[in-house]
Structure 1
């Protein structure tokens, strides 16, 4: 990550080693995205991305409640409200995309080759 300033600004004060945590979250996002494309890693990547989205939720809440400006801009509740409400959808989406869950959209099973079923 070459510009962690915004992420550091919204990181809650109780997070230890914020620079390292922010760097780790960047690595986790990239690893999760790659893992979704590797059949053997897909489910683990989806679970990891869901946990990532859960773990960064406090930073999003901190950003909203304390109205922390990014790049000098105060974003307001028109931005924060939907973002906070959609976090559970992002968690679900990571699990659904990784074939960890199929709720509420049941997938029809098709012929699978080496466990890579869609």
Structure 2
């Protein structure tokens, strides 16, 4: 997350701008910087806010859900970025977003808590 945040604000800024859907009513650069800050905070929280890692995992999963429209936009608009220069490559990438969501939940223990059956009341 921290490396991705650095990429958002420096060497991959244009690549990330290519993923911001045209329907977002904000400057693409602003969206990329804001999401980079969010990634920096989430990455830092994964390291330093360990006692509340379940909440961090849920927040990270929500973040991955919120940025998914950018991945869809890249596919639908046939936008080359991050070496994804074919529709097939862009389509395959879409299937990895749910994996990231599950990984964020699993690696923080949030998935176990979210899937626990609650005792009958």
TM-score tier by shorter-chain length is: 0.7 to 0.9
Q: Which of 1, 7, 10 in structure 2 is aligned with 1:2?
A: 10
CA-atom RMSD in angstroms: 2.2
TM-score normalised by length of structure 2: 0.72
Structure 2 residue 87 is matched with structure 1 residue 89: no
TM-score normalised by length of structure 1: 0.74
After TM superposition, the runs of 4+ consecutive aligned structure 1 residues lying more than 4 A away are none
1:20, 1:41 → 2: CA distance? Answer: 29
* Larger helix share, 1 or 2: 2
Contact 2:64 2:100 survives alignment (8 Å): yes
Give the match for residue 25 of structure 2: 16
Structure 1 position 26, deviation (Å): 0.9
Q: Figure out how many residues of one structure are paired with residues of the other and give that number.
A: 103
Structure 1 gap segments, 5+ residues each: 104-118
Structure 2 gap segments, 5+ residues each: 1-8, 114-121
Structure 1 position 92, deviation (Å): 0.9
1:9, 1:80 → 2: CA distance? Answer: 13
